Every structure is written in structure tokens, then in C-alpha cells.
Amino acid sequence: MNYKSYHYNFLIVILGCILFSSCTAYKKLPYLDNLDPSVQQKLLSDKGVYEPQIKPNDILSITVNSTIPGAASDFNLPLVPLNSTAVPTSVMGAAGVGTTGSLQNYLVDKDGVISFPILGSLHVAGMTIPQLKEYLAGLISPRYISSKPVVNAWILNYSVSVLGEVSKPGTYKSDNGQMTIFDALAAAGDLTLYGKRDNVLLLRTTPQGDVLTFRINLQDKNSFSDKNIFYLQQGDKLYVQTNNARGNSSSIGSLETVSLSALSVLISIISIVTR
């Protein structure tokens, strides 16, 4: 075999190995690789239906309104000055006049109970917000108010924490009381190149104080068939572990740059030797 041809073939083999490793590294990046259509359809059908449950230590905002002037005023906590630490809100006065102020909020105690005006102690842990609104309306009407009142409620402390190999670690809130794993990761700026996509840790505290752990493979098409994992709960924590590439200057991205640079040097050396 010609000496130059031998080295030419040798370079082709090296280049092929580099390109193959590059393709292999790329395959580590996508999420939900080859997602089953049935799983995708299930996730889409659940969207907007899933509701988080109220937990101990949650902070709730609840207002009661009625078409009967003054009828609902006793079922609302008093307003406090705007310069307080309460969450600002706007409530409708008994006469239908908008009153701006800060409404005191309800803290769900360790037993899942809130103290509600007139109605007393109510166990609300385990309820969703729609269930809570229906429950309160049923207790108020027709015993106290002849017409069914309009009850508005929110979980004010709905937030999740994202830690580890993401661009912006931190705690992120949801205004609508709903957040998926991908919503949380997007809020945190997505995983870095060093984030381990096949082993994300989800930590969840139960109402009894137990800590549940879930291992999630973001590349597994069946990882999110359970909506209780796909949809996060208030207080959840996501931890993205560092992959092995961190210690090896990353097998994704920088490896290709280094390899191509080395190949360029090698080509130059062989070119000089074979002249």
C-alpha cells in the first residue's frame, strides 16, 4: 500500500470516530426521545385538569362575595394597611364598591386546618382549590346566605425549587397553581451541558412530613405517564446531578472542539512527514 494512502485512510478512520462520538453525544441531549403518541396524548389531555392539593403550611387567600349587599362581609378577614407584609389584593365591599387593601391570609396548620370566620375550624388539607370553593359555598349557603356565594381562593405559596446543574438555580412561583417539570426547568434556564438528563431527582414532602424521592429520566418516553410526577406540587424540589463529562471537560460540545483541534494538528504533522 502507498505510504501516503495509508496515512490518508488512517485520517479517515479518525475523522469517522470523532463524528460518531459527536452524534453519540448529541443523543444525550434531547428530551422525551421517541415519545409514544399515546403518552403524549395523555399528557395533553391532563393539562388544565390537574389540580394541586392543599397541604399543611400552605398559605391561602380566600374571599367570599355575594349579590346580597353586606351578606358576605362577615366571612372575609379584615383588611390591613398596604404597608404590611400581607399579600396585596382587591376585594369587593358589601355595597359592591371596590376596596383596595391587603387581605389577611389563612395559614393551614400542621393538622391541615384553617380557622375561618363564622364557620370556625375547617379541615382543608387534601382538597383542591375547586373543591375548597365548593365546600365553603356549601357551608355558607343556604344556612347563612340564601343565594350561593362566589368564593375565590388561591394557594399563595405555590413554588418549586430547582437545584444543581441548571443555568439559574432558585425557587420559582406559579401564579396559576400549576407547574410541570419542564415549566420548572425552563424557569431555571434549562439544564447545563453538564446536567445528567437521565437521572433527575425529585424530592416531595408529604402532609405527614415524609420525604418521597423519584428518579426521573428526561429522555425516557414513559417517564411522565404518571401526571403526579409530570405536574409538580408546591414545595417540590428538583435536583439535577452533574454528569461524568464535568470532570472530563464535558463529552458534549467541548470534546468535539478539542478533538477537531487535535485532528487539525495531526493532519499538519502527517502532511509534513509525507512530503
Orientation of helix 254-273 relative to helix 3-26, angle to 10°: 180
d(CA 243, CA 194): 6
Report pTM. Answer: 0.63
Cis peptide preceding 117, ω within 30 of 0: no
Query: Is residue 231 one of the residues assigned to a domain?
Result: yes
Q: What's the domain count of the chain?
A: 3
Q: Is the pLDDT of residue 110 over 60?
A: yes
Whether 233 and 257 share a structural domain: no
Q: What are phi and psi of 24, to 5 degrees?
A: -65, -40
Domain boundary among 133, 155, 177: 155
- Residues 190-244 have pLDDT tens digits of 888 888 888 899 999 887 778 899 998 887 777 777 788 888 988 899 999 887 7
pLDDT of residue 135: 96
Whether 203 and 213 have beta carbons less than 8 Å apart is answered as yes
Q: What one-letter code names the amino acid at 29?
A: L
For the stretch 175-199, pLDDT in tens is: 878 888 888 999 999 888 888 888 8
> Is there a single domain that holds both residue 116 and residue 75?
yes
Residues 6+ away with beta carbon under 8 Å from 40: none
Q: How far, in whole angstroms, is CA 261 from its chain's centroid?
A: 40
pLDDT attached to residue 30: 54
If asked whether residues 65 and 151 sit together in one domain, one would say yes
182 vs 248, more confident: 182
Q: Are 100 and 182 contained in the same domain?
A: no
Does 171 lie in the same domain as 129? Answer: no
Does residue 32 fall inside a structural domain? no
Please indicate, yes or no, whether residues 45 and 173 belong to a single structural domain of this protein: yes
CATH of residue 197: 3.10.560.10
Q: Cα(236)–Cα(65) distance, rounded to whole angstroms? A: 33
Say yes or no: 63 and 149 in one domain. Answer: yes
Residue that the C-alpha cell 399563595 belongs to: 156
Quote the mean pLDDT of the chain: 74
Could you give the residue ranges of the DSSP H alpha helices within the chain? 3-26, 37-46, 129-140, 181-187, 227-230, 254-273
Show contacts of 247-255: CB within 8 Å, 24+ apart: 250/193, 250/194, 251/21, 251/25, 251/28, 252/25, 252/26, 252/28, 252/29, 252/193, 253/25, 253/193, 255/21, 255/22, 255/25
Q: First CA to last CA across the chain, in angstroms?
A: 17
Task: Report the pLDDT value the prediction gives residue 177, as an integer from 0 to 100.
Answer: 80
| Identity of residue 147 | S
> Is 43 in the same domain as 169?
yes
Q: What is the pLDDT of residues 51-92, one digit of tens each?
A: 888 999 899 999 999 888 888 888 988 776 655 554 444 333
Q: Which grid cell is 272?
A: 509534513
Q: Please write the tens of the pLDDT for every residue from 122-169.
A: 999 999 999 999 999 999 999 998 889 999 999 988 899 999 999 999
* Percent above pLDDT 70 for the chain: 62
Tell me if 132 is assigned to some domain: yes
Whether residues 146 and 163 fall in one domain: no
Give the residue numbers spanning the domain of 120.
59-155
Check pLDDT > 80 for residue 271: no
Q: Are residues 113 and 186 in the same domain?
A: no
Band of residue 112 on the pLDDT scale cut at 50, 70, 90: very high
- The grid cell for 29 is 441531549
The answer as to whether 15 is a domain residue is yes
> Taking 60 as the threshold, does the pLDDT of residue 99 lie above it?
no
pLDDT band at 170 (very low <50, low <70, confident <90, very high): very high
